[in-house]
Structure 1
Amino acid sequence: MRSFNRLSIQSKLMSMLLAVSIGSIVVIAYEGYRSGQKALAGSFENQLTSLRAAKARQIENYFQTLRSEVQVYGNAPSTVEAMKAFTAAYDLVLDESASIDARRTNGLRDFYRNEFAPALAEKTGREVNSDIYLPAALAARYLQFEYIVENPNPVGDREAFEGPGDRTDYSQAHKRYHPIFREVVEEFGYYDLFLIDNQGNVVYSVEKEIDFATSLLFGTASSNLAEVYRDAQRQNSGYVAMVDFEFYLPSYSAPAAFMATPIYDGVELVGVMAIQLSVDEINRVMTGNQRWAADGLGETGETFIVGEDATMRSDSRARLEDPDAYFDAIASTTIDLEQGDRIRQLETSILTQPVNNPTIDRAQNGQSGVDTVTNYLGQPVLSAYTQLDIRGVNWIIISEINQAEIFAPVAVFARRVLISAAGLVFLITLASLWLARAFLKPVNQLSEGFRRLAAGHQEAFVEVLADDELGELAKAFNHMVKKNYKANALVAQKTQETEALLLNMFPASVAKRIRKGENLVADEAESVTVIFMNVLNFQRMTEALKPKQAIEILNELVKALDEATESHGVEKIKTTGSEYLAVSGLSVARLDHAKRVIDFAAESFQIVAQINREWKVDLKMRIGVHTGEVIAGTVGTQRLIYDIWGDTVITAHHVQSAAEPSSIYVTEAVVRRLSNLYEFAPVGDIEPRKGKSLSVFRVNILEGLFTS
């Protein structure tokens, strides 16, 4: 406390303001952070619960639709007929193939050894003995050779093959029914469709994998296809059996699930129809066609299915989007290296990616809820879980999103608060310093105002902070500044007006010299070109028109000529009555001053022609041009006038007087400069001074200009 008492009043005030301000910032920021976390968590809980429910309904409806389709097609008359036809044909093939030749046997053995076994080994990462997969039944060997080995289409497209074209009953049945079942598979998105007789023989399949024509009672008796077959065979008509996903060897050990229904002809069981579910269709439903963000799952959210064995039944978003990042993530979890390699080889997380967290047990026990857990990638997530109502399997559905993404806005808020707090502390420090100084030295702002005013700032107003004596002083100061500002503005306005008047009366270079105080301007130019122009019929026009209209025409003509002088680099000297005097090369030295004057003269005739057309008058113009020396300067004291003098001016005037209407006359001095640019015609001599004769030429360019 003693240390605090030793501080100055300014330091005490600053310390108190900083303590109160920083404390307020900390409390508000903390409450905002906590409230933001709670609000975001609640919002995402509701969102995940809604998404989980929507996806659950969608996948349940999908499987219910599958059941209905299997039930309908299993009882369809065409399916019953196909089942009976393929069964009978299969039995005949068995009879006809009792002595299958060595070509078919060797060809089939080569297929298993050179194609199937290497592909299966690549998928499983294990050595494969191809001989154990070679079917023992001669009928199976015959059909597999004809429909698999001799099939011209690669794996995945074998369904396009309609048969070998022989005359066996099987080929006839296949040719008749295969297009129907192939269309069913393609239209409804199945992976495969099977017809299985009462002896467990797969007498037909669409995809023609190595389960085709084999018996489910022997080699593949332990497969889930055999399991679903046995279940369906024991049931009444209309029953649909389903088995969970397992690695299915005929599909190169890919995950496969099946549905099956018994086929009855009346009350007689004639076989079983089974479908192999498409993993792609289930993934399409669960991933929303891989448009997770559009489903409201952001950058890291996903919805997936987990089976009773706590492994996935739909593919991982991380594996689909960025496989490298996915494998890096699972490498840091408890998953073993062999399992990771299997995921990489099979290119799916179905049956291969374990999902181990407390929500799995809860959901499998029929519970639903939302919890924060560590996901299969080892990342903390908000997870919404529930059990799916799909007969035949015990699956759960999980919707989850990374906590980092959920609380990203809060993290951004926290960073902004820290940055803002740092800025606020700095501002508060400055404000405290300012308030302390204002409290101790209230006259500082007036002093600063006087300093700024002395430095030339015309708007050095100060803020009136109070109604006391200092406030009155500030008001008086502001009044003084305002009067000073108005006076300076008036001076600036007058200066601009004077500038405009000077530029209107004199060339820019002369006006600049006059502004600097040079009242007597006198210059001598050795080489300029002077043009004298005379507007003819002007007097007659003024007599025929009202004075106002005549003046309006004259002003328009002079304005157009003035604009033309500027565009051609010619300086206007003066207008007197109907005469117009201009020069080029005077204020600004120009090598081509003669050409500029001739071009200006030619345009002047066009200007007169335009005036005549617009006003329905008959003005004409004659022009005289001469090149030589002139003297230029200002005359007068009360009223300055800028003019040019010399023989060149007099000669140009005489040349103009000698010119015919609508013509340009020039002297020989002009012709010498421009003989290679224009066509000149001699018209005679004039005598500008007694005893002095000059040749005069007409410029032959006007006719071409008027024509163009």
Structure 2
Amino acid sequence: MTQVSEQDAAEADIDRTPQAGRPRNRLDRFRRRRLLAHVSILSKLILMMVLCTVLASAVIGGIAFKAGRASIREAVFSRLTEVRGSQTRALTNQISDLRNSLITYTQGVSTQTALEEFTAGFDQLSTVQITPAQSQTITDYYNNTFIKEVEQYSGTKLDAAALLPTTNPERYLQANYTALRKDDDNAITINDARDGSMWSAANARFQDFFRQIVTRFDFEDALLLDGRGNVVYSAYKDVDLGTNILDGPYSGSKLRQAYLKAMSANQIDYVGFTDFEFYQPAEMQPTAWMVAPLLKNGRAEGVLALQFPITKINRLMTFDKQWQQAGMGETGETVLGGPDDLMRSDSRLFLEDPQQYKSAVVEAGTPPDVADMAIRQGGTTLIQKMTSAATLNAQKGETGTVITKDYLGQETLQAYAPLVIKDSELHWSIVAKVTTAEAFARETAFTKTVVLVTTGIVFVVCLLAISLAQIFVRPIRRLEAGAQRISAGDYNVAIPVDSRDEIGDLTVAFNEMGRSLTVKEDLINQQRKENDELLRSLMPDALAERFKQGEEIIAVEHQNVTVIFADLIGLDRLQAELATDASLALVNELIRQIDAAAENFGMETVHTVRNGYLASCGLIVPRLDNVRRTVDFAMECQRIVERFNAETGNDLQLRAGIDTGMVSSGLLGRPSVVYDMWGAVVNLAHQIKDGSPQPGIYVTSHVYEVLQETMQFDSAGSVSVDGEANPIWRLAERH
């Protein structure tokens, strides 16, 4: 190549006359080819895009500036005004229909009778006894379920002691219904706790009636409040069941004022509607209330309150997320605002892309913590401010249109109006809006022009793209095919290098990457296999998998587990009498036999420390007969020790403590981790084992109650745990 270049250059220098044109043209073509081969792919892309953009901008820009915007603005505003009016009518009609339905229900005999029976049942519970187990069930539900859910949505810490039920009826109902809920669907299907109370009898009679009201109209809950403010009934049995709305933990809710107004209304057709608020029993979800008095002989005896979720408003205001089908285009939406300048419906952009919403509102001036709260709550209601000229004018009672920036910082066309609901404290504003970019771009005259111009531009762009793509697409496709082979596990890929540009450099690097990946994959697979084997030898497979995923704190609660804590009496003496190797061999053989027995009985060994042996049943694999299996395992351990004594001439004895109940397990320590199990059950089993001077199998009252009919136990006194005496029993000796 060097010789050719020098020869061509020499010929060009010797003869520069017109007759020497052929050698010069050949040299120029050669130089152009070399220059093109050294041009980067970025330069090629820029060249293509510049040509297309200049042509498109010149044509479209000239036409756009000639298009009149006055008629376009008028057409868009007319459409927004029509949508605003339609949404206003739909919302008021929806609330009117719900109001009429509520009036019908409150005037029915069923609701009146239900209030009387639930109130009577509620009063009867004032003297009922609450067992310690029921109290613990309530506490566990608040600490492990309700408090966590509320804190997750609100982002603030709650004081469980301030929320726990205090009165007997409240504690009884929440122990038998609220704390036993598994989810909302489960809660509303509960007809009878079968506790024999008058309240449960009333619930069995009327639950289906109120369930139909809640499910048919998509309410969050239905409450009955007596004349003293007690929530004597809840369809979903939430934590407000049994509380008093006047002085209870949720007396700060808007329901309190709505209740007082309804009780003093003395109107047969009165229905109150509150504004939305963050209601704590609803896990801090935005909630409004529809309330109506229950009259008897012209006097209010109580109130029926229907919990109105924000989802009903959002389904209407967001066109059930079918904005384009409703004619709102790519950016159009309708939004409700309140007198506090906060939204009463969700943002369209939030529902479509929460992260993009966050970026937009933060850039527009919304504090980041407000955007984060919206994402945590799952909506913008009562969170996102909207303080444009449209909402401010609507709050003043004005109706009109305006071009202004919205809460996203976008220039928008907005049609606004006040929205007032009869017999309510609502003073909302409704805004229908669309960005100016979309509004002016989708009008008919402009669209026809754009279609014609775009068709021509697309044709030209296609020709340019086809011509230029042939130059650089071919090596990219080869790289793509090579990447697909690597992703499929074939690292023996070698792509020829045809150019010296970035694609050529990338091809060289790609080939080198394929070679290095083969070596690294083998090393990684070997290391991963060794790590997996080590982890599974230290902890259960499920915890090992979570540990591999990077969880630093792993703890699991298990509700029904039986724990055995055993030690071998005389093992210290045996180890002292024998040489280290001999004693270790005997101990290992003994532990091997015990481990084999544990596997046969479905026991899960936690760890072995000196003379102690900690195991469980039902921890990893739930078993209904875990108590029986554990006691059988302990008896088998006794037989193993007896055989060991007979074979070796030693005198070892087994002493074991067994308890059943809820335990926790997980990984302890940093950076070294140890799989362990803890909890009151483990502690009690250990105390029984240590507190029993004689060999044998000792169990707690929980185990004794399960097996007393099939096994014989002798009372063995009690052990003290945290100052409390716990009776224990000793398994009778076999004869």
TM-score of the pair, normalised by structure 1? 0.53
Percent identity reads 31
Query: Where in structure 2 are the equivalents of 1:221-260 lying within 5 Å?
Result: 221-236=251-266, 237-260=268-291
Cα contact 2:286–2:309 (8 A) shared by 1:
no
Corresponding position of 1:193: 222
Equivalent of residue 81 in structure 1, options 83, 89, 113: 113
Equivalent of residue 239 in structure 2, options 210, 229, 253: 210
Cα distance per residue 1:301-336 (max 9 Å; x no partner): 011211111111111111111222111211212211
Corresponding position of 1:330: 361
Cα distance per residue 1:351-402 (max 9 Å; x no partner): 0111011111211121111111111111111001001131210011110011
Cα distance per residue 1:57-109 (max 9 Å; x no partner): 000111111211111111111100101111111001113x2x31111111101
Corresponding position of 1:355: 386
Deviation at 1:39, TM superposition (A): 2.6
Q: Using the alignment, how far apart are the partners of 1:178 and 1:396 within structure 2?
A: 37
Corresponding position of 2:87: 55
Cα distance per residue 1:140-196 (max 9 Å; x no partner): 011001011123x32454111112112111011000001000011111121111100
Q: Which amino acid aligns with 2:258?
A: V
Q: Using the alignment, how far apart are the partners of 1:416 and 1:294 within structure 2?
A: 22
Call closer, same or farther: CA 1:37–1:421 in 2, change over 3 Å.
farther
Cα contact 1:40–1:407 (8 A) shared by 2:
yes
Query: Where in structure 2 are the equivalents of 1:384-533 lying within 5 Å?
Result: 384-391=415-422, 392=424, 393-409=426-442
Q: Using the alignment, how far apart are the partners of 2:356 and 2:156 within structure 1?
A: 26
Q: Secondary structure of the residue that 1:277 maps to in structure 2? A: strand
Corresponding position of 1:45: 77
Q: Using the alignment, how far apart are the partners of 1:113 and 1:293 within structure 2?
A: 44
Corresponding position of 1:269: 300
Q: Using the alignment, how far apart are the partners of 2:323 and 2:171 within structure 1?
A: 46
Deviation at 1:35, TM superposition (A): 4.1
Cα distance per residue 1:580-635 (max 9 Å; x no partner): xxxxxxxxxxxxxxxxxxxxxxxxxxxxxxxxxxxxxxxxxxxxxxxxxxxxxxxx
Equivalent of residue 160 in structure 1, options 189, 192, 196: 189
Cα contact 2:358–2:372 (8 A) shared by 1:
no
Q: Which amino acid aligns with 1:263?
A: L
Q: Using the alignment, how far apart are the partners of 1:180 and 1:34 within structure 2?
A: 65
Q: Using the alignment, how far apart are the partners of 1:161 and 1:133 within structure 2?
A: 24
Call closer, same or farther: CA 1:36–1:265 in 2, change over 3 Å.
same
Cα contact 2:59–2:453 (8 A) shared by 1:
no
Cα contact 1:305–1:395 (8 A) shared by 2:
yes
TM-score of the pair, normalised by structure 2? 0.51
Call closer, same or farther: CA 1:155–1:420 in 2, change over 3 Å.
closer
Call closer, same or farther: CA 1:169–1:40 in 2, change over 3 Å.
same
Within the alignment, does 1:115 sit opposite 2:148 as a pair?
A: no
Cα distance per residue 1:457-502 (max 9 Å; x no partner): xxxxxxxxxxxxxxxxxxxxxxxxxxxxxxxxxxxxxxxxxxxxxx
Corresponding position of 2:324: 293
Corresponding position of 2:125: 93
Deviation at 1:37, TM superposition (A): 2.3
Corresponding position of 1:579: none
Q: Secondary structure of the residue that 2:427 maps to in structure 1? A: coil
Deviation at 1:413, TM superposition (A): 8.0
Cα contact 1:112–1:131 (8 A) shared by 2:
no
Within the alignment, does 1:308 sit opposite 2:339 as a pair?
A: yes
Cα contact 2:174–2:239 (8 A) shared by 1:
yes
Deviation at 1:132, TM superposition (A): 1.1
Corresponding position of 2:157: 127
Structure 1 runs (4+) greater than 4 angstroms displaced? 26-32, 409-423
Cα contact 2:337–2:343 (8 A) shared by 1:
yes
Within the alignment, does 1:146 sit opposite 2:179 as a pair?
A: no
Q: Secondary structure of the residue that 1:342 maps to in structure 2? A: helix
Within the alignment, does 1:376 sit opposite 2:412 as a pair?
A: no
Call closer, same or farther: CA 1:359–1:167 in 2, change over 3 Å.
same
Deviation at 1:233, TM superposition (A): 0.9
Query: How large is the Cα RMSD of the aligned pairs?
Result: 2.6
Corresponding position of 1:173: 202
Q: Which amino acid aligns with 1:354?
A: K
Call closer, same or farther: CA 1:142–1:406 in 2, change over 3 Å.
same
Cα distance per residue 1:17-41 (max 9 Å; x no partner): xxxxxxxxx9998787454422322
Q: Which amino acid aligns with 2:109?
A: P
Cα contact 1:33–1:414 (8 A) shared by 2:
no
Q: Which amino acid aligns with 1:84?
A: E
Corresponding position of 1:560: none
Larger Rg: 1
Corresponding position of 1:669: none
Q: Which amino acid aligns with 2:319?
A: G
Corresponding position of 1:65: 97
Q: Using the alignment, how far apart are the partners of 1:216 and 1:114 within structure 2?
A: 25
Q: Using the alignment, how far apart are the partners of 1:257 and 1:386 within structure 2?
A: 22
Q: Using the alignment, how far apart are the partners of 2:160 and 2:178 within structure 1?
A: 16
Q: Which runs of 5+ in 1 are unaligned?
A: 1-25, 424-708
Give aligned pairs, total.
Answer: 396
